[in-house]
Amino acid sequence: MFRDSSLTLSDVRGPTPGVVWVCGPAEVPVKGLVSPFTGQPLTSVPIGESWLAGVPLGTIGVAAGNAIDVGGRRFSCDVRGLQR
């Protein structure tokens, strides 16, 4: 479910410059992200393309507890997975 990946939003190209548009989930870097299973730091979380519509390329998410903000889009992350 959660992976440590070097792919960022800036690596994704779409039909509109500066707007994320991918097929499937994108690995989004998130500062302060912690695994809900192990408590260990994670560098990114996969987020579905439709949840990121309009988020600029290169946006880095910020986690506080189980809340994640990616360019104004807010998610929660716990043992059930990522939720809007």
Task: Tell me what pLDDT residue 58 has.
Answer: 86
Q: Where are the beta strands (DSSP E) in 1-84?
A: 25-31, 44-48, 61-64, 67-70, 73-78, 81-83
Which pLDDT tens digit goes with each residue over 32-59? 999 999 999 999 999 998 899 899 988 9
What's 43's DSSP letter? S
Task: Tell me what pLDDT residue 3 has.
Answer: 44
